[in-house]
Chain A
Amino acid sequence: MSTAPTATGDASADGPVPPPRASVPTDHVEVDAAGWPTGVPRAEPAVPVADVEQVPVRWDPAERRARASQSFWTAVVGVPAIFSVLRLGVEAGGELQTTLLLVANVGPVNLLAGFLTTAARLLSTGLVAVFALGAVLAVSVDRLPPGTLRRPLFARWADLTPAWVVVASFLLALLTWPLLYLPLLLPAFAAAFQLRPDRLHEWVLPRLSAIAALLAGYGWLMLPTLRDAVEQGSERLVLVLIVVPPLLALFIAGPLPGMVIRPLASLTEVAVLAMLVWAALPVISTPVLPLTVTTVGAENGPTEDVRGHVVTTDDVNMVILQERGGVRYVPVDLVRAQVLCPTEEELPRHRLRIHDFHIEDSLLEGMGRRVRPVHRIDAACRIPH
């Protein structure tokens, strides 16, 4: 195919051999920039020629972004779905028939919601770690030894991610992390946005006083807790976790020396992956259904306590997945009482509070406890079954 003119109207009148295009008198026929006479229809190819000829050497940014967004949503929907199904298998005790019973009775929305409540913490931890490390590596890349071709993975991810996603991850972490670990968000935030103290004010004195004021506010918030931790003696880690991170936040922004970038990048990639796998295991094994103790027995007869998760209840039976394994079909008429029980994993490990918020509660949980302040564990949960 060619874009050169083939037959033109008036030109044939000049002689048997068509003269070169340049010689066509312009006063007779008007031609466009490409030398195509105006008003003559062009034959357009079905497929744009340029695209066919340039077979995908490189994606253009828009397409790249579209693909990234596609994979992002695939991950957002796919990962919880896969995890949830895995959890059902674990919850059923590895029994195929029990897994099928659960699949038949646990709705996808319940499953997803259940997954999100247990995995939000893990998710936000992963994102915060990637963004903070990515930003630190990204500002350091110009110090990489010459000859390094690829930027570290986390740096590329951090560059690709819009700022609002980073902020949203930090917000999610703020709401879902236990209060004890929240101070760690300070250096992570300073790193992710490369906030240096000199951004506070250009003069030294106001800058120092601003830092002092911020630290004083933090101190006021934490001082009673620190005092309790000192009194309890064995809470050294808590002390370090509360005191050190705000100080680290002052120094964390800035480029790293060239020699540590590579090892740090590789090491943290492996560490974050290992952390995700390690933390995902308990998420998979966290029960999908709430734990209950059901008192079963005929009227005036002896009773029995069944400890397990209620899968479903219909007109005839209550189906209970027992804690020790196995499914029990209990006739509804025999159910005398039922109580909700906590699991031992929910037991607190510290006895410290930050202004009456338990340090192992997240902000969300702490607020929830204020809405329903009294929680009494039913004694039926205590005895073994």
Chain B
Amino acid sequence: MNVFSSQSRLRSVATTLAVALTLTLAAAAGCDSRKEPDLPTVQEKMRESHIYGQSKLRIGVATNEPLMGDLRNGQHVGFDVEIGRYIAASLGYEGEQQLEFVSAATEDRIPYLQGGTVDLVVSSFSMTEERKKLVSFAGPYFVTTQEVLVPVRLKDKIRTLEDLRDPAYKVCTTGGSTTEGELEKRQVKALVVKDVWDCVAGIRAGRYDAVSSDETILAGFLATYPKEFEIVDLPFGTSELLGIGVPIGDPALRDLVAYFLQKSYQQGRDGQASPWLTAYNRTLGPWLRAEKSQPQPLEVPKLVDFDDKAPRR
């Protein structure tokens, strides 16, 4: 009898505890449901970035790199331009009135970002340690290699780096580009001009014999003059990571751009038509020798957005 009553007492204590704990948990759940999200949200980053409230977004692009950034009949076209459009649209800037493309030559890219002439630069901008001291990068959105474009008449003569070092051939490249440093490192003497376009025009005029630059840029010129040029695959052994340049003082904008690149990357991985793939197929795709896919962006912040609840599968 005694055992029975002590058992029943134990039970009622257990019940009391269970009731009390359930009530506490329910209260905690109630408080939790009214709490502000502590994860950083896209909206929050928008408010932190310098473009918040700005009526127009200015993106620096190239205007003389066919397939990447080109000006055709007054319209900006190319892979970089499409990527810029995607990022701008994701940030809430769509259409002529809200988005302005600013022509930025290769050496203007960093000063423009530093001086606030543009908010973003999408212009075959290689992410290098040197540049990271001056501007921030979101990306990469493309991985390219350094190649050499030669006129068809020289395609059998220039096949190796050794051939490039031959003083008989005048190699041309752009100032302030990663290629310039790379050629220097390999003791290839190059003539430095402002744009790749100058090199191509120079080759066509007979002033130069080869031009070295990113495969993407060279593919653009190959697309423009398919019968006059050929790309020579030289073992430079370095790959260029193209990123979107952001002012170094605006980490929130960098995070947002990286987040939207990641979103496109994720869509591509899920087998959907990603904005990246659409841009690629419309521009570079047909002209590159090997099929490429979007590289995974680096240092992507985990941001909360409205569509986070959507099913993943």
A residues with CB within 8 A of B: 129, 136, 178, 180-181, 184, 187-188, 191, 234, 237, 240-241, 244-245, 248, 251-257, 260, 264, 268, 271, 275, 278-279, 282, 302-303, 342, 344, 346-349, 351, 353, 356-358, 360-361, 365, 369-370, 373-377, 379-384
Q: Is B100 an interface residue (CB 8 A)?
A: no
CA–CA, A271 to B21, complex, Å?
A: 15
Known A346-B306, A347-B306; contact A244-B21, beta-carbon cutoff 8 A: yes
Could you tell me if B39 and A344 are in contact, using CB atoms closer than 8 angstroms? no
Chain B 132-157, CB-CB to A under 8 Å as 1, else 0, gives 00000000000000000000000000
Measured between beta carbons, the chain A residues less than 8 angstroms from B52 are 383-384
Q: List 29 A-B contacts (CB under 8 A).
A: A136-B15, A136-B19, A181-B29, A181-B33, A184-B26, A188-B22, A240-B28, A251-B18, A252-B15, A254-B12, A256-B16, A257-B12, A278-B30, A342-B306, A346-B306, A347-B306, A348-B308, A351-B39, A351-B302, A353-B312, A365-B309, A369-B310, A379-B91, A379-B94, A382-B43, A382-B46, A383-B52, A383-B91, A383-B92
Could you tell me if B53 and A384 are in contact, using CB atoms closer than 8 angstroms? yes
Could you tell me if B97 and A347 are in contact, using CB atoms closer than 8 angstroms? no
Could you tell me if A347 and B37 are in contact, using CB atoms closer than 8 angstroms? yes
Could you tell me if B313 and A356 are in contact, using CB atoms closer than 8 angstroms? yes
Could you tell me if B43 and A234 are in contact, using CB atoms closer than 8 angstroms? no
Could you tell me if A349 and B26 are in contact, using CB atoms closer than 8 angstroms? no
Known A348-B309, A349-B38, A377-B305; contact A237-B32, beta-carbon cutoff 8 A: yes
Q: What residue of chain A has the Cβ atom nearest to residue B90's Cβ?
A: A379
Q: What residue of chain B has the Cβ atom nearest to residue A254's Cβ?
A: B15
Could you tell me if A377 and B94 are in contact, using CB atoms closer than 8 angstroms? no
Of the candidates A184, A260, A351, which one forms a contact with B25 in the assembled complex, judged by CB atoms under 8 Å apart? A184
Q: Is B14 an interface residue (CB 8 A)?
A: yes
Measured between beta carbons, the chain A residues less than 8 angstroms from B9 are 257
Q: Is B193 an interface residue (CB 8 A)?
A: no
CA–CA, A187 to B53, complex, Å?
A: 49
**Residues from 101 to 133 in B contacting A, C-beta threshold 8 Å:** none
Could you tell me if B16 and A347 are in contact, using CB atoms closer than 8 angstroms? no
A369 → chain B closest CB, angstroms: 5
Known A129-B26, A349-B37, A379-B93; contact A374-B310, beta-carbon cutoff 8 A: yes
Could you tell me if B22 and A184 are in contact, using CB atoms closer than 8 angstroms? yes
CA–CA, A268 to B13, complex, Å?
A: 18
Could you tell me if A373 and B17 are in contact, using CB atoms closer than 8 angstroms? no
Q: What residue of chain A has the Cβ atom nearest to residue B256's Cβ?
A: A382
Measured between beta carbons, the chain B residues less than 8 angstroms from A376 are 307
Q: Is B42 an interface residue (CB 8 A)?
A: yes
Measured between beta carbons, the chain A residues less than 8 angstroms from B302 are 351
Of the candidates B19, B23, B28, B90, which one forms a contact with A271 in the assembled complex, judged by CB atoms under 8 Å apart? B23
Known: A248-B22, A344-B41. 16 other contacts (CB 8 A): A184-B22, A187-B22, A240-B25, A251-B11, A251-B14, A251-B15, A271-B27, A302-B97, A349-B304, A360-B309, A379-B89, A379-B93, A379-B94, A381-B92, A382-B43, A384-B52
Q: Is B185 an interface residue (CB 8 A)?
A: no
Q: Is B311 an interface residue (CB 8 A)?
A: yes
CA–CA, A374 to B94, complex, Å?
A: 21
Of the candidates A129, A234, A278, A374, which one forms a contact with B38 in the assembled complex, judged by CB atoms under 8 Å apart? A234
Of the candidates A347, A360, A373, A383, which one forms a contact with B93 in the assembled complex, judged by CB atoms under 8 Å apart? A383
Could you tell me if A254 and B23 are in contact, using CB atoms closer than 8 angstroms? no
Could you tell me if B310 and A252 are in contact, using CB atoms closer than 8 angstroms? no
Of the candidates A136, A178, A244, A252, which one forms a contact with B33 in the assembled complex, judged by CB atoms under 8 Å apart? A178
Known A342-B306, A370-B311; contact A275-B30, beta-carbon cutoff 8 A: yes
Could you tell me if B17 and A369 are in contact, using CB atoms closer than 8 angstroms? no
CA–CA, A82 to B30, complex, Å?
A: 25
CA–CA, A328 to B13, complex, Å?
A: 62
CA–CA, A159 to B306, complex, Å?
A: 44
Q: What residue of chain A has the Cβ atom nearest to residue B312's Cβ?
A: A356
Known A187-B22, A260-B16, A264-B19; contact A361-B92, beta-carbon cutoff 8 A: no
Could you tell me if B17 and A251 are in contact, using CB atoms closer than 8 angstroms? yes
* Interchain residue pairs A-B with the least CB separation, the first 7: A383-B92, A382-B92, A358-B309, A349-B37, A252-B18, A379-B92, A251-B18
CA–CA, A356 to B97, complex, Å?
A: 40
Chain B 275-308, CB-CB to A under 8 Å as 1, else 0, gives 0000000000000000000000000001011111
Measured between beta carbons, the chain A residues less than 8 angstroms from B18 are 187, 248, 251-252
**Residues from 200 to 238 in B contacting A, C-beta threshold 8 Å:** none
CA–CA, A171 to B25, complex, Å?
A: 20
Measured between beta carbons, the chain B residues less than 8 angstroms from A181 are 29, 33
CA–CA, A376 to B309, complex, Å?
A: 11
Could you tell me if B21 and A377 are in contact, using CB atoms closer than 8 angstroms? no
Known A178-B33, A255-B15, A344-B43; contact A237-B28, beta-carbon cutoff 8 A: yes
Q: What residue of chain B has the Cβ atom nearest to residue A260's Cβ?
A: B16
Measured between beta carbons, the chain A residues less than 8 angstroms from B12 are 254-257
A380 → chain B closest CB, angstroms: 6
Q: What residue of chain B has the Cβ atom nearest to residue A376's Cβ?
A: B307
Measured between beta carbons, the chain B residues less than 8 angstroms from A384 are 52-53
CA–CA, A361 to B91, complex, Å?
A: 26
Could you tell me if B311 and A252 are in contact, using CB atoms closer than 8 angstroms? no
Measured between beta carbons, the chain B residues less than 8 angstroms from A187 are 18, 22
Could you tell me if B306 and A377 are in contact, using CB atoms closer than 8 angstroms? yes
A130 → chain B closest CB, angstroms: 13
Could you tell me if A268 and B23 are in contact, using CB atoms closer than 8 angstroms? yes
Could you tell me if A375 and B15 are in contact, using CB atoms closer than 8 angstroms? no
CA–CA, A257 to B10, complex, Å?
A: 10
Q: What residue of chain A has the Cβ atom nearest to residue B309's Cβ?
A: A358
Measured between beta carbons, the chain B residues less than 8 angstroms from A344 are 41, 43
Q: What residue of chain A has the Cβ atom nearest to residue B28's Cβ?
A: A237
CA–CA, A369 to B308, complex, Å?
A: 11
Q: What residue of chain A has the Cβ atom nearest to residue B35's Cβ?
A: A349
The listed residue with most A CB atoms (<10 A of its CB), out of B26, B32, B43, B312, is B26
